[in-house]
């Protein structure tokens, strides 16, 4: 089992299976996304309190979910790359970071757009938005460190340490922010979480969240594959790949 | 040649770092002066109403301390990196995380402890008095070592970079958020006459956690940076 | 239809959110596409260069 997994992490193997996986994830994401958008915009009821503005949720919640999911993925991939020295893992982590930053930004922007009609202001220091803002800073720090170190392998390992430090801190940050926000404004701003959500609203939410997750998988794999080609350009299998591509004519 | 014991080496390193820092008074005074100036600027930037100042005092003093501590971070490994002493440290038979802990402790003694000493003065400027001042000192005593420990990780990651300053603040400031929240929260609670044991206990727990984990991460980061 | 676009008075907020979402998706589609094109261009150039070097050596 371990040996098999380790073999799949070899650059050439990874290149082969990740292409297929990325394609499937991409099409799956499109399919679920179209269905999700249909339910989100047409076939779900307006909220009894928030009216039609509840439809922002179908963008906001998947983005927020993805922003955290991607950070966890970066941390997991970092651990794998530090412990088992699997190079592919740190390429995947590096490829994930910009996507995570984009979706964190999306979660913040849509949160703000949702907040304006609900709370009457563009920004409120609510626990979730604040945590999301700090998460954005964590992403930017990670990307900044990755970009600042010239040597690719060193950069990847340094960033991996930072990701692990970050992941230990995230629960602490989250807890402290939660504590701080309840101290200062009480439990007034809990419009976001409902005790139970109706199936008609849960359906588009789940579809959109799955679609977003698959979208991330597809994009991260494609970015990681590109980085892999760049780093392995001297190896025999990449040369063969180029020759095969030229022989077969450019697509 | 037989190697001295670990405890001996640890204290030797601590002493060496403190002595070296004490020789450069200017570098020592800079963060301190910065701390005083930042806090002094706040009343000038707004209405110096005593009630208002008392209200914002915990946050202002703590943000000032945080920035001053961050400013001082860069010097932690800098000179040792430049003259190669850091590489020698990696080659010694002693466990690197413990040596890192000695360096962080020395750094805190010369940069964190002075913040504690001037804090009462700044508290007076902002009308923070009585029990709140005691709690401020307690929160600084627990919080500034935390800042040094967490900061050390960031410094170790960026020590090889020529222009790591801005990046360092980007790496370290998000991680400082819990310290700021609990420490300033404790002082604020003390002013309002509410219980502060919760926040202080939390700071203490974070400090214990950081003492155990941060040197490990710092040592790993140093090995990568010096690779 | 206009009812749908109106979104019960929340049109700006709702449509701005979906537009931003679309924008983020578009950027993340464009990024790997550009990177792939760039890397293939580099790789084929290097390969051609190598072959030319080999030919000039043998002749």
* Distance of alpha carbon B2 from the chain centroid: 35
**C-beta separation of B69 from B147 below 8 A:** yes
Q: pLDDT by residue (tens digit) across B89-105? A: 888 888 899 999 999 99
| pLDDT recorded at residue A166 | 93
How many Å apart are CA B57 and CA B53, to the nearest integer? Answer: 6
- Touching partners of C (3+ C-beta pairs < 8 Å): A
Q: Which of A138, A145, A173 sits opposite B167 (nearest CB)?
A: A145
| Average pLDDT for chain B | 89
Mean pLDDT for A175-203 is 68
How many independent structural domains does chain A possess? 1
How many Å apart are CA C33 and CA C27, to the nearest integer? Answer: 10
Both tokens assigned to A123? 């920004």
Contact A219 C43 (CB under 8 A): no
Shortest alpha-carbon distance between residue C6 and chain A (Å): 9
| Average pLDDT for chain A | 86
| pLDDT recorded at residue A78 | 95
**C-beta separation of B154 from B83 below 8 A:** no
Q: Provide the residue range defining the domain that includes B145.
A: 6-225
Residue of A nearest to B219 (CA): A161
Return phi, psi of residue B204, to 5°: -60, -40
Helix (H) or strand (E) holding B3: none
* Distance of alpha carbon C40 from the chain centroid: 14
How many independent structural domains does chain B possess? 1
Q: pLDDT by residue (tens digit) across B51-91? A: 888 888 999 999 999 999 998 888 888 888 888 888 888 88
Shortest alpha-carbon distance between residue A53 and chain B (Å): 32
Query: What are the sequence ranges of the domains in chain C?
Result: 2-58
Q: Which of B157, B182, B227 sits opposite A162 (nearest CB)?
A: B157
Q: pLDDT by residue (tens digit) across A111-168? A: 999 888 888 888 888 888 889 999 999 999 999 999 998 888 889 999 999 999 999 9
Which H, E and C letters describe chain A, residue by residue? Answer: CHHHHHHHCCHHHHHHHHHHHHHHHHHHHHHHHHHHHHHHHCCCCCECCCEHHHHHHHHHHHHHHHHHHHHHHHHHHHHHHHHHCCHHHHHHHHHHHHHHHHHHHHHHHHHHHHHHHHHCCCCCCCHHHHHHHHHHHHHHHHHHHHHHCCCHHHHHHHHHHHHHHHHHHHHHHHHHHHHHHHHHHHHHCCCCCCCCCCHHHHHHHHHHHHHHHHHHHHHHHHHHHHHHHHHCCCCHHHHHHHHHHHHCCCC
**C-beta separation of B181 from B152 below 8 A:** no
User: Is A179 part of a structural domain of the chain?
Assistant: yes
| pLDDT recorded at residue A249 | 47
Any A CB within 8 A of B220 CB = yes
For B190, counting Cβ atoms within 10 Å of its Cβ (0-12 exposed, 13-18 middle, 19+ buried), the class is buried
Evaluate if residue A186 carries a pLDDT over 60: no
How many Å apart are CA C36 and CA C18, to the nearest integer? Answer: 28
CB contacts, 8 Å: A149 with chain B = 160-161
User: Is A245 part of a structural domain of the chain?
Assistant: no
* Distance of alpha carbon A139 from the chain centroid: 11
| pLDDT recorded at residue A160 | 95
Contact A98 C31 (CB under 8 A): yes
Contact C32 A226 (CB under 8 A): yes
Any A CB within 8 A of B183 CB = no
Look up the ipTM and state it: 0.89
Both tokens assigned to B114? 């002075």
Any A CB within 8 A of C30 CB = no
* Torsion sign (Cα): A146, A150, A154, A158: negative
Residue of C nearest to A114 (CA): C13
Q: Provide the residue range defining the domain that includes A124.
A: 17-43+54-187+199-240
User: Is A5 part of a structural domain of the chain?
Assistant: no
How many Å apart are CA A22 and CA A29, to the nearest integer? Answer: 10
CB contacts, 8 Å: A110 with chain C = 17, 20-21
Contact A53 C13 (CB under 8 A): yes
Alpha-carbon distances of A109 from A191, B40, B80, rounded to whole Å: 17, 35, 44
Q: Does residue A7 or residue A95 have the better pLDDT?
A: A95
Q: Which of B181, B182, B221 sits opposite A158 (nearest CB)?
A: B221
How many Å apart are CA A157 and CA A146, to the nearest integer? Answer: 9
Evaluate if residue A88 carries a pLDDT over 50: yes
Q: Which of C17, C35, C36 sits opposite A56 (nearest CB)?
A: C17
User: Is A90 part of a structural domain of the chain?
Assistant: yes
Residue of A nearest to C15 (CA): A56
Task: For chain A, positions 53-92, list CB contacts with chain B under 8 A.
Answer: 82
Shortest alpha-carbon distance between residue A16 and chain B (Å): 31
Q: Which of A106, A222, A226 sits opposite C20 (nearest CB)?
A: A106
Contact A134 B225 (CB under 8 A): no
How many Å apart are CA B63 and CA A203, to the nearest integer? Answer: 45
How many Å apart are CA C21 and CA C19, to the nearest integer? Answer: 5
Evaluate if residue B20 carries a pLDDT over 90: no
Cβ neighbours of residue B3 under 8 Å, at least 6 residues apart?
Answer: B9, B93
Residue of A nearest to B179 (CA): A176
Any A CB within 8 A of B194 CB = no
| pLDDT recorded at residue A91 | 92
| pLDDT recorded at residue A226 | 92
This prediction has a pTM of 0.90
Contacts across the A-C interface (CB distance below 8 Å): 89
User: Is B1 part of a structural domain of the chain?
Assistant: no
How many Å apart are CA A145 and CA A143, to the nearest integer? Answer: 6
Residue of C nearest to A232 (CA): C43
Q: For an interface test with A, give the residue of C3, C4, C7, C21 to mutate (most A CBs within 10 A).
A: C21
Q: For an interface test with A, give the residue of B177, B184, B185 to mutate (most A CBs within 10 A).
A: B177
User: Is A251 part of a structural domain of the chain?
Assistant: no
């Amino acid at each position: 089992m371990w040996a098999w997994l380790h073999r799949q992490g070899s650059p050439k193997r990874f290149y082969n299976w990740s292409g297929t996986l990325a394609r499937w994830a991409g099409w799956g994401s499109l399919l679920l996304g179209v269905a999700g958008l249909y339910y989100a915009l047409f076939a779900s009821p307006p909220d009894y309190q928030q009216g039609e503005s509840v439809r922002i949720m179908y963008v906001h919640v998947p983005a927020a979910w993805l922003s955290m999911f991607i950070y966890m993925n970066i941390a997991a991939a970092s651990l794998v790359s530090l412990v088992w020295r699997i190079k592919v893992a740190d390429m995947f982590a590096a490829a994930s970071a910009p996507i995570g930053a984009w979706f964190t930004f999306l979660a913040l922007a849509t949160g703000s757009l949702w907040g304006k009609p609900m709370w009457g202001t563009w920004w409120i220091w609510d626990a979730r938005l604040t945590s999301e803002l700090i998460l954005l800073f964590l992403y930017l720090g990670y990307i900044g460190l990755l970009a600042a170190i010239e040597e690719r392998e060193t950069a990847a390992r340094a960033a991996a340490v930072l990701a692990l430090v970050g992941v230990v801190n995230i629960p602490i940050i989250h807890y402290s922010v939660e504590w701080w926000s309840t101290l200062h404004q009480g439990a007034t701003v809990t419009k976001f979480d409902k005790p139970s959500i109706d199936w008609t609203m849960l359906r588009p939410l789940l579809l959109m969240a799955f679609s977003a997750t698959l979208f991330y998988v597809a994009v991260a794999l494609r970015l990681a594959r590109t980085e892999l080609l760049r780093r392995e350009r001297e190896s025999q299998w990449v040369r063969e790949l180029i020759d095969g591509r030229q022989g077969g004519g450019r697509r | 040649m037989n190697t001295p014991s670990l405890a001996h080496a640890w204290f030797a390193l601590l002493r060496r770092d403190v002595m070296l820092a004490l020789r450069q008074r200017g570098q020592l005074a800079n963060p301190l002066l910065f701390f005083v100036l930042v806090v002094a600027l706040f009343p000038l930037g707004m209405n110096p109403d005593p009630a208002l100042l008392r209200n914002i005092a915990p946050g202002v003093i703590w943000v000032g301390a945080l920035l001053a501590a961050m400013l001082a971070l860069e010097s932690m490994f800098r000179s040792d990196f430049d003259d190669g002493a850091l590489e020698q440290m990696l080659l010694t038979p002693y466990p690197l995380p413990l040596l890192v802990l000695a360096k962080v402790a020395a750094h805190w003694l010369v940069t964190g402890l002075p913040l504690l000493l001037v804090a009462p003065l700044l508290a007076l400027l902002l009308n923070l008095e009585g029990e709140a001042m005691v709690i401020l000192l307690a929160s600084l005593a627990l919080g500034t070592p935390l800042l040094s420990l967490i900061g050390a990780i960031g410094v170790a990651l960026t020590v090889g970079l020529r222009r790591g300053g801005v990046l360092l603040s980007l790496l370290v400031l998000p991680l400082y958020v819990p310290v700021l929240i609990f420490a300033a929260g404790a002082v604020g609670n003390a002013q309002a006459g509410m219980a502060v044991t919760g926040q202080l206990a939390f700071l203490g727990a974070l400090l214990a956690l950081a003492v155990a984990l941060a040197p490990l991460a710092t040592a790993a980061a140093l090995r990568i940076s010096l690779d | 239809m206009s009812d749908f676009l109106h979104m019960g008075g929340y049109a700006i907020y709702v449509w701005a959110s979906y537009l931003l979402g679309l924008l983020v998706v578009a950027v993340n589609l464009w990024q790997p596409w550009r990177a792939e094109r760039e890397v293939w261009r580099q790789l084929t150039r290097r390969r051609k260069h190598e072959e030319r070097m080999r030919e000039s050596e043998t002749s």
